[in-house]
């Protein structure tokens, strides 16, 4: 699963970076082995999210964000399983919910464009004055009416989650 | 369509004399049940729920495959994993990992914390209650879903077994080398299947849920691995902020 993502990068990387690329699966394998055995000790690995190779979805087709519904993960939870795709319907509350509901509606993009924060656009850092909040279990940077979500080391403008 | 055709048949079968019913039962090895809800399948769920409630300490790991339906009906699959350390009645640590996010949920019986290691942000709210209450409140109040939350609900009144419209035994299968009984259920817009370890330790090993609310029928499949003798300590359930971690607000779910 990891290889298809990492290989294209490895081609462009220096020898030094290549060395760290090789080290990653080893570290992961060690973490996986520990996960099967012990409790307390592997929290360090769980807490080290920033250092791992991160999936990059910058090149994903814009259509992949136009989600009309999703699978459900639990039987005994009453919820509306349809994702509202009119621009306000982020976060179907699934524990695996990691997709960024960007650019779901042209109308929303046009509206937000006035404030020069186009939904789907990516910045290296959110503007000053943004407040980090947790909504629906996901991290956002809220800047007035504009919401950013972390995407790797960068931030992407998303539709407001509510 | 099929249901509409079946209903008169089933009604007719139910109305006919008991002797006829007995005859068809004797003639075929596995006659179609007059009652779409096989009581034995419901009992299997009840037994599994009761057994789950007896487990006081365990580690459970899951690998999930889910689906998103795009606007035109095309489906995309995605994966996620989670690992949970559990000590009933009120301790939980969950680590949830997917392509773009890793999150931790830590509950020590007094407070519950959601932590995102990549950004080093955490949110803590006071909460006292059972794990069953925790998963219900997190979902209802904050829109936060706990992986495999059914595990904390089965065997309690929050998982009513009388709302299942169809229940059947689907035979046996091997999951991860373990012989399992396979059952299939329908309730509302959800079809679901479960593979339960055969024998005296009825653990759920695989769950498949089909969402019929969309004609594309997005489906999730979860493999479940169990460790009933986990080595964790009480420190596992205590959240200690990492160096440089920042507390942020968690917003209650807004009702539309």
Out of A67, A76, A91, the one facing B159 most closely (by C-beta) is A76
Interface contact A99-B68, CB threshold 8 A: yes
- Detail the DSSP E strand segments found in chain A: 67-70, 122-123, 131-135, 138-143, 146-151, 154-158
**Whole-number pLDDT of residue B60:** 98
Indicate if the pLDDT at residue A113 is higher than 70.
no
The whole-angstrom distance between A57's CA and the closest CA on chain B is 9
- C-alpha span between B121 and B103 (Å, rounded): 10
- Chain B CA closest to residue A49: B118
Query: Please, are residues A147 and A91 in contact by the beta-carbon 8 Å criterion?
Result: no
Among B68, B213, B230, beta carbon nearest to A67: B68
Please indicate if any CB of chain A lies within 8 Å of the CB of B95.
yes
Q: pTM to 2 decimals?
A: 0.76
Distance CA A61, CA A99 (A): 13
Higher pLDDT, B32 or B103: B103
Categorise residue A137: left if φ over 0, alpha if ψ from -120 to 50, beta otherwise.
left
Which SS3 state, helix, strand or coil, does residue A38 take?
A: coil
Backbone angles phi, psi at B163, to 5 degrees: -100, 5
- For residue A69, which of B24, B40, B66 has the smallest C-alpha distance? B66
**Residue B14 in contact with partner chain A when CB distance is under 8 A:** no
Give the residue with greater pLDDT, B101 vs B48.
B48
Closest by CA to B220, choosing from A69, A79, A73, A98, is: A73
Contact at CB, B119 and A139, closer than 8 angstroms: yes
* B102-148 residue pLDDT tens: 899 999 999 999 999 999 999 999 999 999 999 999 988 998 999 99
Contact criterion met (CB below 8 Å) for B127 and B146: no
d(CA B173, CA B179): 6
- Strand, helix or coil for residue B105: strand
A-B contacts at Cβ under 8 angstroms: 198
- pLDDT band for A26, please (50, 70, 90 cuts): very low
Query: ipTM exceeding 0.90?
Result: no
Name all contacts of B159-166 with Cβ < 8 Å and 24+ positions apart.
Answer: B159/A75, B159/A76, B159/B49, B161/B42, B161/B45, B161/B46, B163/B187, B163/B188, B164/B37, B164/B42, B165/B36, B165/B37, B166/B36, B166/B37
Which H, E and C letters describe B188-208, residue by residue? CCEEEEEEEECCCCCCEEEEE
Name the residue with higher pLDDT: B29 or B67.
B67
**Contacts B230 to A, Cβ<8 Å:** 39
CA distance B51 to chain A (A): 18
Nearest alpha carbon to residue B157 among B181, B128, B130: B130
Residues in chain A: 162
Residues 98-137 of A with CB under 8 A from B: 98-100, 131-137
Cβ of residue B156 closer than 8 Å to a chain A Cβ: no
Does A55 sit within 8 Å of B145, measured CB to CB?
A: no
* Residues A66 and B135: beta-carbon distance below 8 Å: no
Query: What average pLDDT does the segment B28-32 reach?
Result: 63
Q: Cα separations (Å) of A60 from A66, A68, B6?
A: 12, 17, 45
Closest Cα to residue B87, out of B65, B118, B56, B108?
Answer: B56
Average pLDDT, chain B: 89
Is residue A132 very low, low, confident or very high in pLDDT (cuts 50, 70, 90)?
Answer: very high
Specify the pLDDT at position A99. 58
What does the block give as tokens for B13? 């079968």
Selected residue with higher pLDDT from B5 and B201: B201
pLDDT at residue number B28: 55
pLDDT (mean) for A150-155: 84
d(CA A9, CA A13): 6
Chain A residue with the nearest C-alpha to that of B192: A75
Cβ neighbours for A127, distance < 8 A, ≥ 6 positions apart: A143
* CB-CB under 8 Å, A47 with B117: yes
The answer to whether residue A41 neighbours chain B at the CB level (below 8 Å) is: no
- In this predicted structure, what is the pLDDT of residue A108? 42
pLDDT tens per residue, range B152-195 = 999 999 999 999 999 999 999 999 999 999 999 999 999 999 99
What angle in degrees, to the nearest 10, is found between the helix axes of A3-12 and A15-37? 160
Tell me the shortest Cα–Cα distance from B132 to chain A, in angstroms: 11
pLDDT band at A116 (very low <50, low <70, confident <90, very high): low
Closest to A105 in 3D by CA, of A119, A115, A94, A92? A119
Which pLDDT value is given to residue B203? 98
Mutate to test the interface with A, among B68, B153, B204, B226 (most CBs of A within 10 A): B68
The residues with which B78 forms a beta bridge, in sequence order, are B66
Report the percent of chain B where pLDDT is more than 70. Answer: 86
Answer yes or no: is pLDDT of A64 > 50.
yes
Report the first-to-last Cα separation within chain B, whole angstroms.
35
10 Å Cβ neighbour count for B73? Answer: 11
């Amino acid at each position: 699963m990891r290889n298809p993502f990492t290989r294209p990068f490895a081609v462009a990387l220096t020898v030094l970076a290549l060395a760290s690329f090789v080290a990653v699966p080893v570290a992961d394998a060690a973490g996986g082995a520990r996960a099967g055995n012990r409790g307390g000790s592997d929290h360090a690995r769980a807490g080290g999210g920033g250092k791992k190779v991160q999936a990059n979805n910058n090149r994903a087709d814009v259509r992949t964000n136009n989600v009309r519904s999703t699978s459900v993960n639990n039987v005994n939870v009453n919820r509306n399983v349809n994702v509202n795709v009119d621009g306000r319907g982020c976060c179907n509350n699934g524990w695996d919910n990691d997709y960024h509901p960007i650019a779901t509606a042209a109308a929303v993009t046009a509206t937000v464009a006035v404030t020069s924060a186009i939904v789907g656009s990516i910045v290296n850092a959110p503007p000053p004055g943004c407040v980090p909040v947790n909504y629906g279990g996901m991290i956002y940077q809220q800047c007035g009416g504009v919401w950013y979500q972390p995407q790797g080391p960068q931030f992407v403008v998303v539709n407001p989650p509510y | 369509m099929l249901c509409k055709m079946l209903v008169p048949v089933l009604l007719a079968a139910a109305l006919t004399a008991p002797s006829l019913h007995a005859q068809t039962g004797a003639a075929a090895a596995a006659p179609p049940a007059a009652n779409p809800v096989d009581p034995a399948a419901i009992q299997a769920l009840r037994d599994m729920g009761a057994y789950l409630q007896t487990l006081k300490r365990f580690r459970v790991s899951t690998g999930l495959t889910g689906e998103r339906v795009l606007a035109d009906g095309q489906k995309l699959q995605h994966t996620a994993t989670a690992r949970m350390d559990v000590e009933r009645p009120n301790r939980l640590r969950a680590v949830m990992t997917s392509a773009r996010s890793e999150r931790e949920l830590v509950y020590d019986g007094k407070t519950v914390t959601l932590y995102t290691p990549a950004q080093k942000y955490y949110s803590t709210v006071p909460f006292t209650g059972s794990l069953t209450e925790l998963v219900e409140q997190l979902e209802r109040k904050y829109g936060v879903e706990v992986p495999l939350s059914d595990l904390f609900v089965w065997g309690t009144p929050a998982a009513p077994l009388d709302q299942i419209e169809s229940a059947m035994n689907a035979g046996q299968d091997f999951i991860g080398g373990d012989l399992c009984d396979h059952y299939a259920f329908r309730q509302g817009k959800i079809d679901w299947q479960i593979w339960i370890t055969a024998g005296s330790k009825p653990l759920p090993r695989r769950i498949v849920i089909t969402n019929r609310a969309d004609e594309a029928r997005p489906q999730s499949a979860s493999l479940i691995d169990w460790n009933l003798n986990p080595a964790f300590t009480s420190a596992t359930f205590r959240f200690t902020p990492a160096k440089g971690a920042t507390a942020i607000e968690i917003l209650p779910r807004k009702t539309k």
